[in-house]
Structure 1
Amino acid sequence: METQERDTAELGEKVVKVLKTIFDPEIPVDIYELGLIYDVFVNENNDVKILMTLTTPNCPVAETLPVEVEDKVKSLKMVNDAEVEITFDPPWTQDLMSDEAKLELGML
């Protein structure tokens, strides 16, 4: 693996660690385990793009959660820039939650 690819992969892992520190205020599970993060892209300039959803389009944190995600990812030293894109395609369902999240919420 080339150094650039390794650095990009390493940064992707750091981004995921940061995402796991952000919680949906209504559900005591982080947004990554909830399945709200659809994809994390890191390019060779260390720009990060996060494709995520919300539990519902009228989610009370629709305005603040994407900003929190962007700010926390931008705070990583290696990150040049970060952008969050919200999508509702596909819509979020409980099936997207990790087993860990389902266990935490007593669904397993």
Structure 2
Amino acid sequence: MSDTIDTNALGEQIVGVLKTIYDPEIPVDIYELGLIYDVFVNEDYEVKILMTLTSPNCPVAESLPEEVREKTKSIDSVTDVEVELTFDPPWSQDLMSEEAKLELGML
């Protein structure tokens, strides 16, 4: 039996953790809201998360990326986490999942 961890499985585990983080102004998790643009995991189990906020003036601009970093870092096999904020492309409701739109009564 090997001690290696499948980076795809780890990616799924990270997504599971991201789905426990909610935007305080919208009752939907940040993953379903479309705030997470990409999750990269390398062979050393270092994670880079590319994310955005609903607006550059978002009141949680400092705390939300830190919460993403801390919760992702809490996964046992993760060795390091970098969270990069981007506003290119800017977030729009088009990035929301069908589940999020349904939750917010937009469907």
The TM-score by the shorter chain falls in which range? over 0.9
Q: Tell me the equivalent position of 2:96.
A: 97
The corresponding residue for 1:84 is: 83
1:90: Cα distance to partner? 0.1
**Which TM-score applies when normalising by structure 1?**
0.95
Distance in 2, matches of 1:73 and 1:83, equals: 10
Partner-residue secondary structure (3-state), 1:85: strand
Point out where structure 1 has 5 or more consecutive residues left out of the alignment. none
Question: What TM-score results when the alignment is normalised by the length of structure 2?
Answer: 0.96
For 1:47, the aligned partner's letter is E
Alignment pair present for 1:26 and 2:34: no
1:42 maps onto 2:41 in alignment: yes
What is the alpha-carbon distance in structure 1 between the residues aligned to residue 77 and residue 23 of structure 2?
26
Structure 1 position 93, deviation (Å): 0.1
How many pairs align? 105
2:51 counterpart residue number: 52
Structure 1 position 86, deviation (Å): 0.2
Identity across matched positions, percent:
75
List 4+ stretches of structure 1 deviating above 2 A: none
